[in-house]
Amino acid sequence: MTNTDLMVRMLEEAGVRWLFGIPSGPVLPLIDSLRQSSVQFILTASETSAGFMASTVGYLTGIPGVCASTVGPGATNLTTGVGSAWLDRSPLLAITCNVASPWLERRIQMRIDHMALFKPLTKASFSIRDGRVGETLSEALGLAIQEPPGPVHLDLPEDIAQANAAEWKGHRRASNQLPDLSKEAADAIAAALKKAHRPLLVTGLTFTRGSAARQLLQFVETQKIPFVSTLHGKGFLPEDHPSWVGVIGRARRTNVKALTDRADLIIAVGYDPIEINYEEWVGETPVIHVSTEVAEPGAGLNFVWNEACDLDRAIEAMNRLQTFANDWSQETWQEHRVRLERALRPGGSDFAVQTVIDILRNKLPANGILAYDVGAHTHQIATQWRTNQPKTLLATNGWSSMGYGMPAAYAAKLVFPDRPVVAVVGDGGFQMTAGELALARRLRLAVPVIVLNDGWLGLMKVKQERRNYPLSGVFLGDPPESPAHYFGVPCRPARTPEAFRDALDWAFALEEPSVIEAFIDVESYSATVFD
């Protein structure tokens, strides 16, 4: 058994099903060991996409996603995808296959210091050495899933990869146990609720890793308080609930902030400021921060309670509290939602992004998964899209890198082959990742990719407008006519709502990947994205 044989066996035992990457000489021993296992090597068009796909798998399954690259440029490409796992909190193993050990400290072709490269993007960076392969990989697997989860880097010299493995009989290290501060958290919330007139609940990224959503919803109903979420928190509490009042920091943020500004107490449960800092929307309102990590203090913030603890136990204790009266009314929340829905659809165009979202939401089943890229449409989808089911919306918020949407959608289809999956990307993001259509065709991943084709980097266009800058460097050019296919993947254009509905029906009926180019009006973003 070689060291790569041992590594692959350990990955199998950990539940890993795929390894994403691109071959090169140093990667070949690892690929050869995969060939004799149940772990499938997925050839991507770029190492960046490999990282995004591994990050998505880690998020959806809780098992570390795994990606690999060659030395030098392969490793630098990989870092962008690994960064997504770092700031979006996904368990991941990033394996860089390096030159042989005698060359590790030499200045030779392609070689760079992988350890220094990955150090700021990972929970840990290990250089694998003979005799400690099993021990190192075991530690990396355990560390990746510890709260908060994230990426771990492994650097694998080529000679070590091919060397005979030392016997390994160890076990993966268990995840760390967080302190049970449920009584303290509940006491702090009870004391604050006694004084508060308009308490507000907010959930976020950390809440998505818990298992007490039902109990938190019961708390909301018992206390009769409204709730908002971040982009990542969507669907973990039902958005058709009367207490739901929006998503903070996204499209029509001023509408949402008008209501959150009325709150005199913020109860933040599983909130991760990596998505949006408290300072950006809370002001001096008292905050109770109940999460697995302590929130960083900031100027003007007023934390009543701010501790790292076992989140599920804290929620269970919260749910046992007596009811405290407040001054909110469901009529207020309903009127707010009506104004928000109207503001999200400003009119003025027959075929704008909000039209695409409404039609897609009507066509995609409740358990369908939407993966969307970074751009102006990110803001619109985050606020406008409605879901009651967790992990049906995939986006990068902490990292916010263009090029995420298509790889994430394809990874989701691998994890859930029987569920419908759709990708929505801007034309700028599509240019970055169109090559991954070849991956989808090769694997027959029946994922429609909807390209919002307006000829602009829409988010940057709006930002320049808001700063009174002349438009510069954001025009992609007048969109050309749609081709019959991209890399063998069939494509259809849509210039009207009716044509888009027909194109969706066509795409969902296929048993192969597809592209729909929706030629939308870019101007609608100016009325929603930052207002």
**How far is C-alpha 164 from the chain's CA centre?**
38
286: its two tokens: 């008292």
Task: Look up residue 435 and give its DSSP letter.
Answer: T
Q: What is the model's pLDDT at position 289? A: 98
* pLDDT in single tens digits along all 531 residues of the chain: 999 999 999 999 999 999 999 999 899 999 999 999 999 999 999 999 999 999 999 999 999 999 999 999 999 999 999 999 999 999 999 999 987 777 577 676 667 899 999 999 999 999 997 778 999 999 999 999 999 999 999 999 999 999 999 888 776 565 578 999 999 999 999 999 999 999 999 999 999 999 999 999 999 999 999 999 999 999 999 999 999 999 999 999 999 999 999 999 999 999 999 999 999 999 999 999 999 999 999 889 999 999 999 999 999 999 999 999 999 999 999 999 999 999 999 988 899 999 999 999 999 999 999 999 999 999 999 999 999 999 999 999 999 999 999 999 999 999 999 999 999 999 999 999 999 999 999 999 999 999 999 998 899 999 999 999 999 999 999 988 999 999 999 999 999 999 999 999 999 999 999 999 999 999 888 888 878
SS3 243: coil
SS3 394: strand
Phi, psi of 286 (to 5 degrees): -60, 140
Q: What is the model's pLDDT at position 175? A: 59
Measured in residues, the chain has a length of 531
229: its two tokens: 């979420």
363 Rama class: left (phi>0) / alpha (psi -120 to 50) / beta: alpha
Rounded to an integer, what distance in angstroms lies between the CA atom of residue 354 and that of residue 75?
38
Full strand arrangement of the beta sheet holding 151-157: 40-43, 18-21, 65-69, 92-98, 151-157, 124-127
Q: What is the model's pLDDT at position 98? A: 87
Q: What is the model's pLDDT at position 171? A: 66
Strands (E), 226-339: 227-229, 244-247, 265-269, 286-291, 302-308
Kindly report the pTM of this predicted structure.
Answer: 0.96
Are 274 and 150 a contacting pair, CB within 8 Å? no
What residue type is 434 in one-letter code?
A
Alpha helices in 365-456 (DSSP H): 376-384, 405-415, 427-433, 436-443
Domains of the chain as residue ranges with CATH: 3-162 (3.40.50.970), 182-339 (3.40.50.1220), 344-527 (3.40.50.970)
Q: What is the model's pLDDT at position 309? A: 97
**Residue tagged 């269970």 (tokens):** 316
Are 415 and 62 a contacting pair, CB within 8 Å? no
Rounded to an integer, what distance in angstroms lies between the CA atom of residue 3 and that of residue 165?
5
Q: What is the model's pLDDT at position 172? A: 58
Task: Judge residue 514's burial from the number of C-beta atoms within 10 Å of its C-beta, 0-12 exposed, 13-18 middle, 19 or more buried.
Answer: buried
**Residue tagged 């970074």 (tokens):** 374
Contacts for 225-229: CB closer than 8 Å, 24+ residues apart: 225/199, 225/200, 225/201, 225/267, 225/326, 225/328, 226/200, 226/201, 226/259, 226/328, 226/333, 227/200, 227/201, 227/202, 227/203, 228/200, 228/201, 228/202, 228/256, 228/260, 229/202, 229/203, 229/204
Q: What is the model's pLDDT at position 414? A: 98
What residue type is 364 in one-letter code?
L
Are 220 and 285 a contacting pair, CB within 8 Å? no
Rounded to an integer, what distance in angstroms lies between the CA atom of residue 192 and that of residue 286?
9
